[in-house]
Each structure stands twice: as C-alpha cells, then as structure tokens.
Structure 1
Amino acid sequence: MSIVAVLNTKGGVGKTTTALNLAVGRALQGRNVLAVDADRQGSLLAALSNRGEREPCIAVAQYVEGQALRQQVLRAAALYDDIVIDAGGRDNTALRAALLLADKVIIPFLPRSFDIWSLDDMSALLVEARAIKHVDAYALLTMSDARGTDNEAAGQAVPDDMQLLPTTVGRRKAFADAGGAGLSVLELPAHRDSKAMAETQALLAAIFN
C-alpha cells in the first residue's frame, strides 16, 4: 500500500493533472485507488466526477482541513492499494498533513524562475516534516520546453533535499483535454498523443517501481 502526495505551495504547476494521471494510471494497472482532493478549489474531485460510469472506477473524496485529511486517509489506508492526494497552491494545514501522510511526495514545478523559487518553500516544509518522520520527496518538471536549455537549468536548481525525477512532462494539449473529462492520457486513442502517453507511463514507473 502506498500514499503519494502531489504538493507545491505554488499553484498552476500541474498538481491536479499529475495526481489525476497517477490515480487513473494505477487503476488501469489493476490497483484499487482512492484519490483525495485536499484543495478547496476541488478540481480533482470535479474532474473525476466527470468520469461518470467509466471503468476503471476511481473512488474520490475531498478533505480540505488537515485534521480531517489525516483522520480519513489513515482510516482508508487499509481499504486501498494506493492513495493519491492532491494538495497545495498555498501553505496550509492540508498540505502539511499530506506531507506527513505520504510515503512519497511529488513536487511538480515549471522551468520558470518563480516556480523554481517555490521549491525552496517546499524544501523548508520538508525540513519540518522530516523532524517528525522520513519523507521521500521528488521534484517533477512539468510543462517542460521542447527545446532550449531552460529544462536543464531548472533541473540543476532543484534543492539537494529532493530528488529530480528522471522523466519530465511536456506542455501538451492532450493532458488538458483528457483531464477535463476526468481521464488519464492513457485512456485517449493512441494516435492522440503518443508522447504524452509515454511520459505518463514513465512517470508511473518512476514513482511506483
């Protein structure tokens, strides 16, 4: 059983898209998955609600206060193979609770200065969390550029207390198109965007293998 939290104190970095593709991707692999939306905006809850009766079925719940998040996730842990938590956009009780609940923390960030700076905020929160328990933290470069040196420069700026994942996620329309319907890009027809599908498979392998 694993609990993966997708976190960042900065919004707009692809947290919900990442969480959705991880949750659905694991369900497609035959795992019993609970997706937890810990953001008041409720984007993950809304997206997965749009799946309707589509298989695989993804259980989803929303807890935006840290105490409720912690209590409910701990209760659910025995019922699911994997729990994926989407939290953040700001430093709040839900983000801090998710940080302590997770076996692995995924921190999406863009190859832009403001986003790279936000990793320092997460680094400070990791220091506090690690005073309580061991936390594995991984930085994930999202909406990466197809060319140029920004991706490499961003990767070099990742703080030493988190690992840079070996795979990146590009800025691809397929992610937005799929996410709006509560789908992973893995559920789209293969001709839609094979690169997006390959990136998602690589991300699943990097995190869960």
Structure 2
Amino acid sequence: MGRIIAVANQKGGVGKTTTSINLAACLAEKGKKVLAVDMDPQGNLTSGLGIDKNTLEYTIYHAMSGEINIGECMIVHPLEHGLDLSVLPANRDLAGAEVELVDAEDPQHILKNLLKSVKKKYDFIIIDCPPALGMLTINSMTAADTVLVPIQCEFFALDGLSQLIYTINLIKKKLNKSLEIEGVVFTMYDARTNLSLEVVENVKNNLDQFIYKTIIPRNVRLAEAPSFGLPINLYDSRSSGAQGYRDLADEVINNKLYAKL
C-alpha cells in the first residue's frame, strides 16, 4: 500500500516544490510507482513536470469539489523515459477551495477520501503543500502518513518551524492520529559559506526531529530544470542536484519510520 508524504513548510522559497518534484521523480527512477499531488494553487509542481497548467480542463480542484472523480483529472506518465510517475495537477482554480470547502461536509478529509480509491496502486504519493497553514495544507496532512519538512540553509531557517510542528501535532491529535513527521531535509546548501554549515549545526542542536543525512546543494541546474518542465534527474542526470535527490530517495525508501506504519 502506498505511503503518502506531505511536503510542507509555510515559509516560501525553501525548496518545497523542488523537493516534491525531484523526490517523486527519483523514487520513480528507482522503480517505484509514484503519484505526485499538486495542492498549491500556484501549480508549480504541475508545470515543473512538463504540464501546461493553464490549458487543463480538470484539476485536483474539480475532484475535491465533487464535479469529477479523481481519475478524470489524473495525468498518467506526463514524462517520457519510462518513469512510472503520474500527477494530480493544480492551477489557480484551487485557490477558491480555501473558501468553498469550508461549507463542505467533513472538509478536512476531502483529499484523504479521494486518495483512498488510488492509494493501493502506488508505492509513494507525494503531496506538494502550499506555503501556508490553511485548509489545503490541513487536507494534505490529514491525508498523509508523514510530513517531510524542507529547510533552507539560511539565517532564519528555524523561523516558523515551531508553528509548523505545532500544527502537525494538532492535526495528529484532532484529525489524523497516525500522522508522523517524516523528517527534515536541508536544501540550498552552499559549501562555500560558513553560514550554511552554521545553520545545519544550529538546527541539529535545536530540533528534536529526525534529520536526513542527505543535504541538497544550491545548484544552478536544479534551478533551471523547472523552466524546461523536467525533474533534475532527467534535465541533468550527472548534476550534484540530481545526485542529492537520488540520495534522498534512497533514504526515504529505507526510513525505518515506515516499519511502524
């Protein structure tokens, strides 16, 4: 049965969508069957996987609003190269869900109920959350088994993290008793600066959570890849960014936390 991972951090610009795209693609590269779910109205995961978000007839929004079933908005294998990676896309239509879903029956469980019908078909379902702790993120965490938290190697890395952890624990208490924190992954690491090293050490000393050994480097090719609609392992397979996300995929696959789920 598929493991559902919500990639979340309410801070923008921390590499959340980059991590969602490239973790999903690298898991697929390793032979896993993967579904990537775009829960961000910006639709960057959708476009980063080569899908024109502006021409879509149906998106995850239409499935959540009950207009269609989940299969009608799913895009199967948008990338070539034999990757078993499918996408539930999003665009700006999803922004309306924050308001509209409040009046729905059991609004926090809409995504969870949708994914029930397909969960058994996938090894991993990766959910890209919006950079806010609203209804869409609550839906994502209620549906998830675990939450993966990307942290940028910057001075304010810990800012807002306590609020995110508080929210995760609240959702666990009220809505999803099996929810766990998958772990923390450092992104945008620059080995040339002392600051990146200091941030890593500071977070390790102040955060009582599992921290992945893999550290994603700041990499030009990684930044370029989304504009070509490709994950980094297809855009530049030999880049340090590609190797970083392959290493992270290995760690996620072997995470002992899954033995408890």
Task: Give the TM interval when normalised to the shorter protein.
Answer: 0.7 to 0.9
In structure 2, distance between residues paired with 1:135 and 1:189: 33
TM-score (structure 1 length as normaliser): 0.87
Q: Matched residue of 1:94: which SS?
A: helix
Partner of 1:204: 249
2:203 to 157, 160, 170: 157
Partner of 1:58: 85
Matches within 5 A, 1:14-163: 14-50=15-51, 52=78, 54-55=80-81, 56=83, 58-62=85-89, 64=94, 65=97, 66-131=108-173, 132-155=177-200, 156-157=202-203, 159-163=206-210
Alignment root-mean-square deviation, CA: 2.2
Partner of 1:180: 227
In structure 2, distance between residues paired with 1:175 and 1:145: 13
In structure 1, distance between residues paired with 2:118 and 2:169: 27
In structure 2, distance between residues paired with 1:189 and 1:117: 33
Q: Offset at 1:26?
A: 1.4
- The 8 Å contact of residues 191 and 197 in structure 2, kept in 1 or not, is answered as no
Q: List alignment gaps of at least 5 residues for structure 1.
A: none
The letter for the 2-side match of 1:95 is T
The C-alpha deviation readout for 1:67-104, integer Å capped at 9, x for no partner, is: 43222222221222211100020111121222232223
The C-alpha deviation readout for 1:94-142, integer Å capped at 9, x for no partner, is: 2122223222311112122333212122111122133233413311111
Q: Matched residue of 1:196: which SS?
A: helix
The C-alpha deviation readout for 1:149-190, integer Å capped at 9, x for no partner, is: 323332323553422211111111111222223322222354
TM-score (structure 2 length as normaliser): 0.71
In structure 2, distance between residues paired with 1:161 and 1:88: 24
Q: 1:54–1:75: structure 2 CA closer, same or farther, 3 Å change rule?
A: same
The letter for the 1-side match of 2:36 is A
Q: Offset at 1:35?
A: 0.5
In structure 1, distance between residues paired with 2:118 and 2:78: 22
Q: List alignment gaps of at least 5 residues for structure 2.
A: 52-76, 98-107, 255-261
Larger Rg: 2
Partner of 2:213: 166
Name whichever of 177-186 and 32-41 sits farther off.
177-186
Q: Matched residue of 1:133: which SS?
A: coil
In structure 1, distance between residues paired with 2:162 and 2:231: 30
Q: Offset at 1:14?
A: 0.8
Q: Offset at 1:27?
A: 1.4
Name whichever of 42-51 and 59-68 sits farther off.
59-68
- The 8 Å contact of residues 9 and 122 in structure 1, kept in 2 or not, is answered as yes
- The 8 Å contact of residues 79 and 85 in structure 2, kept in 1 or not, is answered as no
The letter for the 1-side match of 2:210 is Q
Paired residue total: 207
Name whichever of 73-82 and 157-166 sits farther off.
157-166
The C-alpha deviation readout for 1:52-79, integer Å capped at 9, x for no partner, is: 5523253111465554322222222122
Q: Matched residue of 2:118: which SS?
A: helix
